[in-house]
Amino acid sequence: MRTMSETQIYSLRVNGKLREVTDAWLGESLLYVLRERLGLPGSKGACEQGECGSCTVVMDGAAVCSCLVLAASAVGADITTIEGLTDGALTDVQQAFIDEGAVQCGFCTPGLIVAVHHLLDNTPKPSEMEVKEALSGNICRCTGYGRIFAAVTRVIDQRAQQ
């Protein structure tokens, strides 16, 4: 059993590396810790309630809202953020988002990219409705989703051909 008091140091496994969190207030969300303490501002906060998906990360294989994870309780979990999806080259999902015009302001984009990767990792050939349902927790205010669906379809088709 782990016990931590107000500002102890703890470590989180993020993008394959063990990262130390120091001097943190224990009430901080994982989103806050990623952005403000671990230098990983790719995940975005737009609601702090789990209603927009901008903060989506993968934790122990599940796509969750990092704003709803108490950071210190995620000790021992395997966390992947947008920054951890690739070592440098764009993934096929990222490239498809660019190619299909699925990015406008870009604020929802990291959360969506993580959610799409998670979907396709678990369901390689989702139907149109399965895609929409899987992304129903990611709000986009700019695109109206049309180009986003086109990007996901492109990746599904590309991967099916490989």
Q: Give the separation between CA 162 and CA 147, rounded to whole angstroms.
A: 23
Q: 3, 12 in Cβ contact below 8 A?
A: no
The string of DSSP letters for 95-106 reads: HHHHHTT--SS-
Provide, rounded to whole angstroms, the least separation between the CB of residue 81 and other proteins: 8
Angle at 30 between CA 26 and CA 32, to 5 degrees: 80
Half-sphere exposure of residue 15: CA atoms within 13 angstroms, side-chain side = 16
Provide, rounded to whole angstroms, the least separation between the CB of residue 94 and other proteins: 4
Per the DSSP assignment, residues forming a β-bridge with 59 are: 62, 79
